[in-house]
Amino acid sequence: MVLSGKRILLIISGGIAAYKSLDLIRRLRERGAEVRPVMTAAAQEFVTPLAVGALSASHVFTDLFSREDEQDVGHIRLARHCDLVVVAPATADLMAKMANGHADDLASTVLIATDRPVLVAPAMNPKMWMHPATRRNRATLSGDGVRFVGPAAGEMAESGEAGEGRMAEPLEIVSAIEGLLGEPRPLAGKKAIVTSGPTHEPIDPVRYIANRSSGKQGHAIAAALARLGAEVTLVSGPVTIPDPAGVSVVRVERAEEMRDAVLAALPADVAVMVAAVADWRVASAAGNKIKKRPGEAPPPLQLAENPDILKTVGHHGARPKLVIGFAAETENVADNGRAKLERKGADYILANDVSPATGIMGGDRNRVKLIGREGSEDWPEMDKDEVAAKLAALIAAKLSA
């Protein structure tokens, strides 16, 4: 019984489907779960706290500024003392608040304060579900590590309205919860270091040398390792994507800072070096902005070699059991990847072709060749999330071998 003894924080927001959350509470309790309900003000227009309280056999939390519940900062306790947060139904409004980090009532405050996994069951009119704003919010939430169940297609409560937007049925939500809580965590107790993004190498206080790395692949790998239970330190260069859920992020700019942060995070069981670290930095960056002077030739840029972080880790006294690097190449991908494996002391290299035509650098998809000591393997083109999940599964298998 996956759900036996599990604590579920159920957030009910204000949609017609709120009546189904009563059945959901019943189904969860039948399976031995403890349900603590939070209701938004709008939810209480659809079902009563009395019914929710009676079915859950729990106090129903409705007010952020409740004098009784907040005596011991109850919203933080609620956010943390559970195995999973489930939002069912999730309105378009609550999804928008979650995606933008609002915290202006108990439900949204708990959702931003929680460090537990979050499962969302959206329910809304099909036009609301297909609206570009909701599409954007859903994508943002997925990127933040929020999981979704549904919505399904079908007839809506409003007559004449059909399409995608119906909340998943309570038993489907129960299965999704069981799937999430029963998910194997083979990397529990293991430490991982992941680097991600580009580095910025200053020329002067306002200019820098950079590359086109977005950090999407590295961040996805950090999130995938955390989902399998690893304690992850993500050392990230400057990126514009959000931090993945459940990992500690160390932000750096330059390659030398990235090396220092990686070495400070040792020892670890696995290091996955995904960042596109600049090979060179400007030998002596100017302290003040370099001025353009009429008639003068452009200033020469003297470059110095940056530390090789993958090689440093691959040959370190506290070398992780598994060291994995990425090789971004535009030609001879396999040969260059294999040479890199030897030179850097890595166990695996994931080589990818980052020629502009592939759209990989900065894009959402990736096609990699996994090069190991026993041989190599071509992975089909996949979303970067899928590459991350496949790599995390490989790491789990290797570390448990």
Ligand X SMILES: Cc1cc2nc3c(=O)[nH]c(=O)nc-3n(C[C@H](O)[C@H](O)[C@H](O)COP(=O)(O)O)c2cc1C
Q: Specify binding-site residues for CTP.
A: 279, 289, 307-310, 326, 340, 344
Q: How far apart are CA 186 and CA 188, in angstroms?
A: 6
Mark the binding-site residues, compressed into ranges: 279, 289, 307-310, 326, 340, 344
Give the residue nearest to ligand X (CB): 15
The distance of closest approach from Cβ of residue 117 to ligand X in the complex, given in angstroms and rounded to an integer, is 21
Is 366 an active-site residue? no
Cβ neighbors of 290 (< 8 A, separation 6 or more) are 203, 204, 207, 299
Residue of 100, 125, 137, 211 with catalytic role: 211
First vs last Cα of the chain: how many Å apart? 28
DSSP codes joined into one string, 176-214: HHHHHHT---TTTT-EEEEEESB--EESSSS-EE-----
- Which candidate, 391, 388, 1, places its Cα nearest to that of 181? 1
The distance of closest approach from Cβ of residue 335 to ligand X in the complex, given in angstroms and rounded to an integer, is 54
Q: List residues near ligand X by CB under 6 A.
A: 13-17, 40, 42-43, 91-94, 123-124, 128
79 burial (CB, 10 Å; 0-12 / 13-18 / 19+) is buried
DSSP state of 269: S
Nearer to ligand X, 17 or 391 (CB): 17
The distance of closest approach from Cβ of residue 357 to ligand X in the complex, given in angstroms and rounded to an integer, is 42
Nearer to ligand X, 13 or 211 (CB): 13
Nearer to ligand X, 40 or 137 (CB): 40
Q: Which residues in 109-147 are b (16+ Cβ under 10 Å) and which e? A: bbbeebebbbbbbbbbbbebbeeeebeebbebbebbbbb
Q: How far apart are CA 358 and CA 360, in angstroms?
A: 5
The distance of closest approach from Cβ of residue 122 to ligand X in the complex, given in angstroms and rounded to an integer, is 8
Tokens representing 398? Answer: 């290797």
The distance of closest approach from Cβ of residue 146 to ligand X in the complex, given in angstroms and rounded to an integer, is 15
Which residues belong to the active site? 211
